[in-house]
Amino acid sequence: DILVSAAILTDADGRVLVVRKQGTTRFMQPGGKPESGETPSQTLRRELHEELGLVLGDDDLRPLGRFVSAAANEPGHRVIADAFSATIDPRTVRVQAELAELRWITPSDVDGLPLAPLSVEHLLPLAWPRASA
C-alpha cells in the first residue's frame, strides 16, 4: 500500500485542479507521499508548495477522510489517501518539480480524460456531488 495525502483544489467557478506527473499519462489530484514524521496535512502543504508553488496554512485545508483505490502509476498496488479540500485562486499555481501539466476541469471534461482511480472513484464525486448523482 502507498500512503499519500491528496487535495481537491477548486476555484470560485467550481472547477477542480488535476495534475499529471512527468512520464505518466493519468491526471490526479495534487499531493504526494509523506516524509518521516509528517502529519497528512503537513505532507499535503509541503507537496502543494513543491509541485505548484502554492502556500496554504492548516486552516485552509478541510479534511475529507481517508480513501482507498488502485494506484494509478504503480500496477498491483493500492493508494491510501488522506484527502483535503481547499478553494484557491487559479493564478496562484504553476507547474514545477515533477509535474508535467495541470488542468482545471469541470464535470463535462471528465469523459475521455485519463484520470487516476482515486479521482474517479472518490475525489471528483466529493468535488461535484450533484454531477455524479
| Mean pLDDT, each 10-residue run in order, the chain (133 residues) | 97 97 96 97 97 95 97 93 97 95 96 96 92 49
> 9: closest CA among 102, 122, 127, 133?
127
pLDDT for position 133? 43
Cell numbers describing residue 133: 448523482
- pTM here? 0.94
> 61: closest CA among 12, 124, 9?
9
The residue assigned the cell 488502485 is 70
> 49: closest CA among 96, 83, 82?
96
pLDDT for position 129? 83
